[in-house]
Chains A and B, each alone.
Chain A
Amino acid sequence: MTWADTLLLLPELIAATGASILLIVPVLGGRARGHMAKWAMLALMAVTALAVIGSTYAVAGVQQTPTFRAMFAVDAFSVFFKLLFVVVIALVTLLSEDFLSEERYSTWEYYSLLAFALCGMMFMASGVSLITIYIGLELLALSSYILAGYYKNHEESTEAAMKYFILGTVSSAILLYGISLIYGVCGSMRLSTIAAALSTMLSNDALMFGIMLLAAGLCFKIAAVPFHVWTPDVYVGAPTPISAFLSTGSKAAAFAVFARVFYVAFPAFHLDWSNVLAAIAALSMIVGNLAAITQTNVKRMLAYSSISHAGYSLLGIIAMNEMGLRGILIYTMVYVFANLGIWATILMLRRHAYAGESVEDFRGLHKRAPFAAFSMVVFLLSLGGIPPTAGFIGKYFLFAAAVQAGFGWLAIVAVVMSAVSMFYYLRLVVAMYLEEGSGAETIYSPSLRFVTALSLTVTLVVGFIPELPIRQVIESSSHLVGRVVQR
């Protein structure tokens, strides 16, 4: 380890140090100043973002800089995701403000856990060895378990944490077993070494079993069917800002890992695993969308919607081509912002001091909060993939990747299901614009307004002028695509 190595690790170091400081502050007598925590957290995010951007200058001109015995790498791919994570955590911080002040839970520990989660996510994005990836994933998971149960006086929240914890630890044990088998077959846990070993190898059961177990563990994190059972309960039970975090940040991190591991390590056996993942993707899209139709609780509906979106994103991994990898990056970004915007709107609704969760709470929103209602429509259209919103660009890439890779049937399932998804997205539009009557009252704080406005801007800008983000995505993914076996 040299100083240069440390420099590349700077964003993670800052996040970890910052998280530790946030944890200590209340012990040092800062508990009373709870309102300061938000600003401390935002400052930490700003510094981390600067460090991430700074690390790109450190590696300018170099495709990838593996450090720490090739366990950790800074490259354009990781930088893309890290910046996305920092923005997500910053926005979740803004979303959490009202919840924390109303519920009178300790703010410092809450933000500290979020910062630890960020640290884990950044390790996931940068990990080029299964060891690093696993540790990052666990750091994220452990923080998430606690955050999901942060409403500890509410039984639902605790129950959600328990379910999330049990299923989460089981899934990481499965993932770990997969890693151990891959290690056994390839003799290494470095992704590039695995790829090199596999390229000279014939398909064998232990390896396929290992890949499948690894995929199963990751599918749990992205909430793909049949590893999705935790999602609706956890999204409903967890504090709403944390549901927002789980459906955006944590998922994006899992996709970063999914994409890197499969694109770098397993292209050689693409034919073997792609059909299994295709079945998972198809099931996720079908089950997620059909189950969402019957939901009346918006958080639950979003949970099923997020299951279906995991299915769409999987298209990008199954396709295993340039288009697919770009699709994952751009779709993740697009999905994250549309979702954060929707969660912000949910958070501003209040019914008897609780967040508005049922579809009825949205009734007549266009009168009470025209801007929020309008943005909500844009976000929902984006999730449904209707142009000219960003969601269309994202889906365009994924569908195109599937068609190009010869997965025509999967593309048909995907487009049909994305039409079906509009059915339940429109339910919210109906409630907001077409039904009169009084829904929940609204408390639209400046923070929520900011999150909505930012998400709206991204959703519309990517929709109308997609060239810039597309070029960025091409830059961020090209060095991984180079390894893709062109069939």
Chain B
Amino acid sequence: MPGIPTNYFLILSAILFTIGVCGVLTRRNGITIFMSIELMVNAVNLTFVAYARQFHSLHGLIFVFFVMAIAAAEAAVGLAIFIALYHHRDTIDVDEANLMHW
């Protein structure tokens, strides 16, 4: 296969995914956590695209479009939930979310 080997993309996406996971685990601000999750999802998109290129198959590419659409829907729902939470307590720090024990 000409150009960059697929493995490079996979390693990059694995690194991105890990960064995303770390962000979810360490950040306390709801929005930042959500951004980290988006990073995870997009890392996966990269994997799909890389494999689709390797296989010369459309399936992976099409799936990426679905994933992007779903991520957008997730963003809408997520931000709405964060706004509702902000109304209650003027913060979206997840550590403050302790009405029930985690």
A residues in contact (CB < 8 Å) with B: 131, 134-135, 138, 142, 145-146, 149, 152, 155-156, 158-163, 165-166, 169-170, 173-174, 176-177, 179-181, 183-184, 187-189, 229, 232-233, 236-237
Residue from B51, B66, B81 within 8 A of A149 (CB atoms): B81
Q: How far is the CA of A5 from the CA of B99 in the complex (A)?
A: 49
Q: How far is the CA of A169 from the CA of B73 in the complex (A)?
A: 11
Q: How far is the CA of A162 from the CA of B30 in the complex (A)?
A: 9
B37 contacts A169, CB within 8 Å?
A: yes
B residues in contact (CB < 8 Å) with A: 10, 17, 20-21, 24, 30, 33-34, 37, 40-41, 43-44, 47-48, 50-51, 54-55, 57, 59-60, 62-63, 66-67, 70, 73-74, 77-78, 80-82, 84-85, 88-89, 94, 97, 99-102
- Known interface pairs A159-B100, A165-B77, A170-B40. Does A180 touch B48 (Cβ–Cβ under 8 Å)? yes
B97 contacts A159, CB within 8 Å?
A: yes
Q: Chain B residue with minimal CB distance to A159?
A: B97
Q: How far is the CA of A237 from the CA of B101 in the complex (A)?
A: 11
Q: Chain B residue with minimal CB distance to A180?
A: B47
Residue from B47, B66, B78 within 8 A of A177 (CB atoms): B47
User: Which chain A residues lie closer than 8 Å to B55 at the CB level?
Assistant: 187
Residue from B40, B60, B81 within 8 A of A173 (CB atoms): B40
B34 contacts A166, CB within 8 Å?
A: yes
The contact sample of 9 A-B pairs, CB cut-off 8 A, is: A131-B59, A134-B66, A142-B70, A162-B30, A173-B20, A176-B41, A189-B59, A233-B102, A237-B99
Distance (whole angstroms) from the CB of A134 to the closest CB of chain B: 8
A161 contacts B81, CB within 8 Å?
A: yes
User: Which chain A residues lie closer than 8 Å to B44 at the CB level?
Assistant: 173, 176-177, 179-180
B74 contacts A142, CB within 8 Å?
A: yes
- Known interface pairs A158-B88, A162-B30, A162-B81. Does A184 touch B59 (Cβ–Cβ under 8 Å)? no
B47 contacts A233, CB within 8 Å?
A: no
A170 contacts B48, CB within 8 Å?
A: no
A189 contacts B74, CB within 8 Å?
A: no
A170 contacts B37, CB within 8 Å?
A: yes
A165 contacts B78, CB within 8 Å?
A: yes
A-B contact count (CB 8 A): 113
Distance (whole angstroms) from the CB of B61 to the closest CB of chain A: 11
- Known interface pairs A135-B66, A173-B40, A184-B51. Does A233 touch B20 (Cβ–Cβ under 8 Å)? no
- Known interface pairs A176-B44, A183-B51. Does A233 touch B60 (Cβ–Cβ under 8 Å)? no
Distance (whole angstroms) from the CB of B83 to the closest CB of chain A: 10
A159 contacts B85, CB within 8 Å?
A: yes
User: Which chain B residues lie closer than 8 Å to A166 at the CB level?
Assistant: 24, 30, 33-34, 37, 94
Q: How far is the CA of A405 from the CA of B28 in the complex (A)?
A: 45
Q: How far is the CA of A416 from the CA of B34 in the complex (A)?
A: 41
Distance (whole angstroms) from the CB of A361 to the closest CB of chain B: 18
Distance (whole angstroms) from the CB of B62 to the closest CB of chain A: 8
B99 contacts A155, CB within 8 Å?
A: yes
B94 contacts A162, CB within 8 Å?
A: yes
User: Which chain B residues lie closer than 8 Å to A155 at the CB level?
Assistant: 88-89, 99
Q: A174-B40, A236-B100 are in contact. List 5 more A-B contacts (CB 8 A).
A: A145-B77, A156-B99, A169-B78, A187-B55, A189-B59
Q: How far is the CA of A383 from the CA of B21 in the complex (A)?
A: 36
Distance (whole angstroms) from the CB of A182 to the closest CB of chain B: 10
B47 contacts A184, CB within 8 Å?
A: yes
Q: How far is the CA of A181 from the CA of B94 in the complex (A)?
A: 31
User: Which chain B residues lie closer than 8 Å to A159 at the CB level?
Assistant: 85, 97, 99-100
Residue from A152, A189, A237 within 8 A of B100 (CB atoms): A237
User: Which chain A residues lie closer than 8 Å to B41 at the CB level?
Assistant: 173, 176
Residue of A163, A169, A174 with highest tally of chain B CB at under 10 A: A169
Distance (whole angstroms) from the CB of B89 to the closest CB of chain A: 7
User: Which chain A residues lie closer than 8 Å to B97 at the CB level?
Assistant: 159, 162-163
User: Which chain B residues lie closer than 8 Å to A181 at the CB level?
Assistant: 47
